[in-house]
Amino acid sequence: MRYILIAAGILAGLGAYFLIVDSNAYTRGKSEAETIHAQRALVAEETVRTLERQSAADIVAIEEKHRQELANVTRRKDRVIADLRAGNLRLRQLDTRSGGGPQARPGAAGVDGGEKAGLPRQDIEFLVSLASEADAVVMDRQALQAIVRKDREICK
């Protein structure tokens, strides 16, 4: 009986030893998997940060281009209004009675001598400003579309 107890003790000791060794291997395997997962997470996070930086730079470039285009629209509008006021620019009105194309009306902004024809200058300036605002709205839309396109490129 004594030998049986000794054998049982040895078997229990060996079982405990293999259990600890197996447990250490499991823990080591688990920690290696966690390390690999953490490394992959860091790489993915750095990739996302790089994409975000690139996206921010692209948006800044789009905004700068948009700002310049709006400034050009404003300058063009101011130049047209100044030319209308100075008499260097005339509006043309389609002459449907003669079947011809655009006909130049007498004088600057439709005024020649004391004879009035066409729209008053204030109305012409309003129409030029309105057209300029419409150009600005189109440019706003184009800038927004460019931003959406850049975001979609990043998401691919």
Name residue 102's amino acid.
P
Q: Which of 148, 142, 144, 139 is nearest to 70 (CA)?
A: 139
Per-residue pLDDT of the chain (156 residues; tens, 9 = 90+): 556 656 666 656 656 555 555 555 556 666 777 788 888 889 889 988 888 898 889 899 999 999 999 999 999 999 999 998 888 887 766 666 655 555 545 444 444 444 445 678 888 889 899 999 999 999 999 999 998 988 888 777
SS (H, E, C) the chain: CHHHHHHHHHHHHHHHHHHHHHHHHHHHHHHHHHHHHHHHHHHHHHHHHHHHHHHHHHHHHHHHHHHHHHHHHHHHHHHHHHHHHHCCCCCEEECCCCCCCEEECCCECCEECCEECCCCHHHHHHHHHHHHHHHHHHHHHHHHHHHHHHHHHHHC
pTM to 2 decimal places: 0.56
pLDDT score, position 143: 92
